Chain A
Amino acid sequence: MPLIAQPSHPPAGAVLARLHEIHAAKGYLPEADLRATANDLAIPLSQLYSAAAFYSAFSFQPRGSHTVQGCLGTACYIRGGDRLLEKIGTSLGVKPGETTPDGLFTIETVHCFGSCSMSPVIRVDEETYGRLRVDRVARILKKFTEGTLGEHSIEEQEK
């Protein structure tokens, strides 16, 4: 028994759910929100912070308006996923984990969206693009800078 008594724990999955909520609302995990949440859930701040820092879905820094995720899962890697990421990086001038100076794009790498049959794949916000080649990256990014939604049907791919 610890010297300082601990209150009973929040329900299973509650901590993760709250972290997701904050992240969805604010785009990242602000310090003030984390402090308030630890209080609210009656868990040590160290536990909450440790959990938040462990998972790659969460960021302590604000992200760009659009998140570009390049998949480096096995099937995507074998079919040139790393080249796609490089192309995205050089087009936008940032490395994975960074945000463009204009705050428009944050680049991330993900290890598998489970869309392996469509490899190589990238995701921009909620849209997933597959069967990609390097020369299609620019067109996808342009649609976001120009504000038109990405179209990724077969007819677009074959143009």
Chain B
Amino acid sequence: MSGDNLAGAKWFEQRVAEWRSAGARLRGLEHGKSAPPATVLEAVRAYPEIARDLAIARRAAPNAALTRYLEGVYRELHRSLFRPPAALWRGVRRLFTHDAATAVRALRWQIVAVVSLFVVSIGAGAWLVSAYPELASLFASEQMIDGVQRGELWTDNLLNVFPSSLLSVRIFTNNIVVSLFALSLGVLYGLGTFYLIAMNGLSIGGIFAFTAQHGIAGRLFQFTAAHGFVELSVICIAGAVGMSLGEALVRPGELTRAAAFQRAVAQGLKLMVVCLTFLVGAGVLEGFVSPDARFPLGARLAIGLSYFALFLLVLSGALARLPKARAARD
């Protein structure tokens, strides 16, 4: 028997009971918050000891089953001990009061750029259809064109086709998918986002121009008044987030491309979670208010602008300032 073998055997016999109990202790830690303090303290004590044993095992027998066992125990202990505290609701509240506003401030130039692109595209779409009316077929289906030519909007009888609840779900699902596409296509160096925003702008401009040619643009505006402000703003913000992703890939600055991309995604996602929440509300308005002829234009504008004001209040960070202002007044 060599001296190394004897030392190894001594080490093994001294430590094997600890390795067994460390493995058993992991099952107690799996439950997270419900783990008793004694178990957690034991795990804290065992962590550096297992690390030392693992370092020895890696050197002495890198491919052995004991090393694999210690790797597993060490990995699980590390995961359990360094798990961040759960703070889901605090995180959600912070999202609406601070994070969204911070992201808007960081993305202000991208938002300006995308809104400008959107407005220019709307103008271009309107000009194209005004100058060349036959181009309306690029933005509207044959059925829609026939209806508009008869003085009818495709939104006129929506409630006869779908009940409001169903309409809302369909609309906000579709809008969420469009927004997420606008965001995630930013991965194509921002080009996918530009394309999506420009196409949406062209379609809206083209369709408004086409309905104006038949004298029913006012009715289309009336239909969109309650939900449109927030809906279009969210699509522009999604585009701005997508643009920031593209920018992170093109100009990562001092970070690596992957790190810059991750930072842009993390920031943009916080903003998007807030925006998509508002998009669900816009979908509900589009299902229940917009197609209902009982709502006059004034009521629709009041609803739409109030909802838009709430949206701006959240994105400006004013919600976070309210408690401070109240405290200062008291």
Asked if A and B bind, the verdict is no
Q: Which residues of B are in contact with A by a Cβ distance under 8 Å?
A: none
